[in-house]
Amino acid sequence: MQDDILRLAYEVSRITEDKVDRIDQVMKQTGMLAINARLEAARAGDAGRAFSVVAQELGTVASSISAIGGELRSAIASNIASLRTVGSKMLIDFKGTRYTDLARSAVEIVDRNLYERSCDVRWWATDSSVIDVLERPTSASVAHATDRLATILRSYTVYLDLWIADAHGRIVATGRPDRYPLALGLDVSGERWFREAMATHSGEEFRVCDIATNAMLGDAQVATYSTAVRAGGTTHGAPLGALGIFFDWAPQAQGVLDGIGLSPAERATARLMLLDASHRVIASSDGKGLCSETYPLDTERKQSGYYQRDGKLVAFALTPGYETYRGLGWLGCIESRFVEE
């Protein structure tokens, strides 16, 4: 609607300019005719005196109409400029509000998805095969745990792999040893996901790391969730080791961005992004800057909003979290270029 208002304003302005120009041309022709008529009346002497008066009045009328045309042009130009200003502000406010809502929707979808991941890791850490391989590490228990993890992966296709680490940080079983053979036996004692999992106080807790590439998983971008595997699978049992699950971030994030409700024309001028708490780009509709670019977002400490910068409209929304998952301070962000009509 706002686009239509602006287009109408531009069209009214164009038509008005055209019509006033035509009036000017007609009045100039009329003025010339009046001048010629007075000259001819002068040549006719007394016989043309009355006609001279008419010619003079005609010239006066032509001048008056030209003046009115000029005033009309000025008045319409002023009002059209005001209409353009109001229409532009309406357009910015409309798009800004809409894009802010879409940015919030995107990050809410992500958080709902990641909330499920927090449930998965706490649930699977109580699986008997996971506990058994850490309590009684034998070739049979390793094989059983590997088979169990593989079964989970066949059902939950959003994961690249699941790893079980013992209390010393050595990976003793994975779900895809054929695809990622370098993971088995890997020392992860220095990895954040392992250290924080071992520091949890109960089976109700979990830890999640920001998006990062994992060399052992083909340099894929992953969101890593972890928790301690506890003796007997009880909530307050002693930590035996840790379970790390690696969420295949890139295709899932791209699916969220692809699902944002922008028209093809809007997408042609917009960049859709997911940013972490440091405003690092962790997903982008143009595929650029992933995990390397820090976007210059100015939130002014607001939870959501929009603003203009360098001919662009920037809309953003901070994650509200979901259920018991508070989120990691991620944001949805849409940057849109202004297009001249």
Q: Cβ neighbours of residue 126 under 8 Å, at least 6 residues apart?
A: 203, 230, 233
Q: How many domains does the chain have?
A: 2
pLDDT at 35: 67
Residue that finishes a domain, picked among 252, 270, 292:
252
CATH number of the domain enclosing 12: 1.10.287.950
The answer as to whether 312 is a domain residue is: no
Same domain flag for 139 and 181: yes
Asked if 302 and 292 count as a contact pair (C-beta separation under 8 A), the reply is no
Residue that finishes a domain, picked among 186, 221, 252:
252
Same domain flag for 138 and 48: no
Asked if 225 and 160 count as a contact pair (C-beta separation under 8 A), the reply is no
Cβ atoms within 10 A of the Cβ of 50, count?
11
Residue range 266-320, pLDDT digits in tens = 999 999 999 999 999 999 999 999 989 999 999 999 999 999 999 899 999 998 8
Same domain flag for 130 and 87: no
Residue range 115-153, pLDDT digits in tens = 899 999 999 999 999 999 999 999 999 999 999 999 999
Which of 124, 117, 325 lies closest to 229 in space, CA to CA? 124
What's the N-to-C CA distance of the chain in angstroms?
A: 14
Which of 246, 229, 220, 261 lies closest to 114 in space, CA to CA? 246
Segments in the chain below pLDDT 50: 2, 340-341
> How buried is 264 (Cβ within 10 angstroms: 0-12 exposed, 13-18 middle, 19+ buried)?
exposed
Q: Which domain holds residue 156?
A: 125-252
pLDDT at 215: 94
Q: Is the dihedral of CA 204, 209, 210, 211 positive or negative?
A: negative
The answer as to whether 244 is a domain residue is: yes
Same domain flag for 133 and 234: yes
Torsions phi, psi of 246, nearest 5? -115, 105
The answer as to whether 288 is a domain residue is: no
The answer as to whether 86 is a domain residue is: yes
The answer as to whether 202 is a domain residue is: yes
Strands in the chain per DSSP E: 159-166, 171-174, 207-208, 212-214, 220-230, 239-248, 270-275, 281-284, 304-309, 312-318, 331-337
Same domain flag for 69 and 13: yes
Residue type at position 201: H
Asked if 220 and 186 count as a contact pair (C-beta separation under 8 A), the reply is no
The answer as to whether 243 is a domain residue is: yes
pLDDT at 341: 44
Asked if 110 and 253 count as a contact pair (C-beta separation under 8 A), the reply is yes
The answer as to whether 187 is a domain residue is: yes
Q: Is the dihedral of CA 156, 159, 161, 165 positive or negative?
A: negative
pLDDT at 112: 87
Same domain flag for 163 and 241: yes
Residue that finishes a domain, picked among 191, 224, 252:
252
DSSP string, 218-239: TTEEEEEEEEEEEGGG-TTPPE
Same domain flag for 132 and 72: no
The answer as to whether 15 is a domain residue is: yes
pLDDT at 282: 95
Helix pair 249-258, 49-124: axis angle to 10 deg = 150
DSSP string, 114-171: HHHHHHHHHHHTT-HHHHHHHHS--HHHHHHHHHHHHHHHHH-TTEEEEEEEETTSBE
Cβ atoms within 10 A of the Cβ of 188, count?
21
Query: In whole angstroms, what is the distance from residue 102 CA to residue 274 CA?
Result: 12
pLDDT at 113: 87
Same domain flag for 33 and 150: no
CATH number of the domain enclosing 247: 3.30.450.20
